[in-house]
Amino acid sequence: MLGRRMANTTKITPEEWLETAKQALIQDGVAGVKVDRLAKTLGVTRGGFYHHFKNQQDIIDRLVQHWVDTNDMLPPLEGVSTATEAADKLHELVQRVVLEEDFSSSFDLAIREWARIDEQIKKTVDRVDAGRIRRLKKLFLALGCDEEEAAFRARVFYFHQIGYYAMGYHTRQTRSKRLTAAPIYLHILCGQRYSEAVEKSNRKWA
């Protein structure tokens, strides 16, 4: 019984295999997602793996799908029409990306790296990115930007967030520091319309 995994179940579910693969991907990159290493991590031999997954590619495919299904960087942005609502949504968004609730930037990053060398994964990531940028654009339209400005600001905002995570900057600062800095980033990235909406909102409550 020595050297066995913590879990109380003696049989390993597909979800456990998948979660282990996810952690391996995050910690060791693509090279870490090896069937025998996952088994070692789980404290079993590879025997059971092939009951749940056809082969290595199978768990990889499911891991990418898992990312699509569970790791949305943005909160729901639907039903935003006024500039004030848009500004509020932006605050909510910043809360999410800073606190990383229901979202793992390291998972996002790891998948993104994989996408760079795997054409299939790249297509999936591109689709997800396009969707996120589309949703952000709507936010900037609600803020009062014209089509072109909204399109550009959505991209700049998103690229910046991706770069921020890619640099691992968020791991070097405390949450409170990041939350303090967030409004400054917002003013830089979201422009005049945003600053006006915030000021208006502040006057209302003052």
Residues at the site binding a second copy, with contacts judged by CB under 8 A: 27-32, 109-110, 112-113, 116-117, 122, 129, 148, 152-153, 155-156, 158-164, 166-169, 181, 184-185, 188-189, 191
Q: Give the 3-state secondary structure percentages of the chain, helix then strand then coil, rounded to 5.
A: 75, 0, 25
- By the rule CB under 7 A, 46 interacts with DNA: yes
Nearest Cα residue to 195 out of 111, 90, 92: 90
**CB-based contacts of 35-44 (< 8 A; 24+ apart in sequence):** 35/59, 41/5, 42/5, 42/12, 42/16, 42/17, 43/3, 43/4, 43/5, 44/5, 44/12
- By the rule CB under 7 A, 55 interacts with DNA: yes
- By the rule CB under 7 A, 24 interacts with DNA: no
- By the rule CB under 7 A, 62 interacts with DNA: no
Nearest Cα residue to 130 out of 93, 150, 155, 153: 155
- By the rule CB under 7 A, 56 interacts with DNA: yes
- By the rule CB under 7 A, 141 interacts with DNA: no
| H or E segment and range at residue 35 | helix 35-42
Residue among 13, 27, 82, 173 that touches DNA (CB under 7 A) = 13
Residue among 57, 70, 120, 192 that touches DNA (CB under 7 A) = 57
Please give the distance of CA 165 from its chain centroid, rounded to a whole number: 9
CB of 3 to DNA, least distance (A): 10
Stretch that binds DNA, among 52-60, 119-127, 130-138, 162-170 (CB under 7 A): 52-60
Distances (CA, A) of 136 to 68, 90, 201: 18, 9, 21
CB of 43 to DNA, least distance (A): 7
CB of 69 to a second copy, least distance (A): 21
Residue 46's binding partner, choosing from a second copy, DNA, none, with beta-carbon cut-off 5 to 8 A by kind? DNA
Contact residues for 104 (Cβ-Cβ < 8 A; gap 6+): 26, 71
- By the rule CB under 7 A, 203 interacts with DNA: no
